[in-house]
Amino acid sequence: MRGVVGPLLAVVCGIACAATAPAPPKVTAPPATSSAAPSASPSPSVSASVSDSAVVSASASVAPSASSAPPKLVCNAQTAFPWLIRGSYIPVGSHKAAHQKTLEWRSKQYGYVKPHGDPDWNSKTPHEQAVDTTFMGLSVRMHKRVVPALACVEAELKVACAKDKYKPGALAGIRDHNTYQGGEVTNHLYGIAIDIDPTLNSCCGCVTKWKKHPLCKKKVKSIYERMVMPQCWVEVFEKYGFYWLGHDTLQDTMHFEFLADPDKILVPQP
Ligand SMILES: [Zn+2]
């Protein structure tokens, strides 16, 4: 039977809180009126506005609700490693070393996917380390190591992007088959990619059916006009180490993949 875990926030606690926690932690929504001034709090605070992140501490707090609850958890802002970004290693036929480097990283961090790379890199598969979780109230199956990053994103979305009132109706996470051609390997195979509303947020450079979609046919000034998801969501995901494939030639606006360091998603607490 597959491992099943509870909501994202409970997962965060399971990973980073004391094992004897008396109650599941609760994400404390960042104050909606946060200013750009640095917080006087000893712990990093979250900005209500994504654009403030460079000024205010670029972290989100995941705090318990009761004083007797486990220590406060703090999310770490990260950016995607450039060499893991798809555009740096495609076409893979002429970027073999660069592509191989990404396969080795992904395999060692998340599991070996036959036949991509070297089985000696990891004795486990990503599927063996995948868990059922929730994101913004929807179920999705992801690699357990990136679940805390999704929790960080969710906590900040609920504050920074609340004004947009966007609520997705469907998600897609880990896959068991490669959907790329030409030797490339999708991050969905590793359980580190998530699609938001896959039928509504377009991928105009993907399969043929999208080319006929109104969002792909219309003239736009920005890629953000080719999706129903608010731009604010992209900014929050990117703040916590996810790369948005809307920047890519595929224009895959539904797709985020975690390309930062999974060991640095949460700030270690004393
Ligand atoms: Zn995707």
The range of the structural domain enclosing residue 145 comes to 82-267
Has residue 186 got a pLDDT over 70?
yes
Residue 208, burial from CB neighbour count under 10 angstroms (0-12, 13-18, 19+): exposed
Please check whether residue 28 lies inside any domain of the structure.
Answer: no
248 Cα to the center of ligand 1, angstroms: 12
**22 domain-assigned:** no
Task: Please give the angle made by the CA atoms of 81, 84 and 175, to the nearest 5 degrees.
Answer: 125
Q: How far is the CA of 175 from the centre of ligand 1 (A)?
A: 10
In a domain, 206, yes or no: yes
Structure confidence at residue 35 as a pLDDT band (50, 70, 90): very low
DSSP 179: -
pLDDT per position as a tens digit, 234-252: 999 999 999 999 999 999 9
Query: Does residue 60 lie within any of the structural domains?
Result: no
Taking a 5 Å cut-off on Cβ, the residues next to ion ligand 1 are 195, 255
Torsion of CA 135, 141, 145, 148, to 10 degrees: 10
pLDDT of residue 268: 84
Task: Please indicate, yes or no, if residue 248 is contained in any of the structural domains.
Answer: yes
> For the chain, what is the domain count?
1
Query: How far is ligand 1, taken at its centre, from the CA of residue 188, in Å?
Result: 6
Q: Identify whether 136 is part of a domain.
A: yes
pLDDT (tens digit, 9 = 90+) per residue, 116-174? 999 999 999 999 999 999 999 999 999 999 999 999 999 999 999 999 999 999 999 99
Residue 3: inside a domain, yes or no?
Answer: no
pTM for this entry: 0.78
Measured between alpha carbons, how far is residue 15 from residues 8, 41, 186, 193, 223 in Å? 11, 25, 26, 20, 36
Q: What's the pLDDT score for residue 270? A: 75
Residue 219, domain CATH: 3.30.1380
More confident of the two residues 156 and 31: 156
- Report yes or no on 43 lying in a domain: no
d(CA 252, ligand 1 centre) in Å: 7
How much is the mean pLDDT over the chain?
Answer: 80
The whole-number pLDDT of residue 76 equals 96
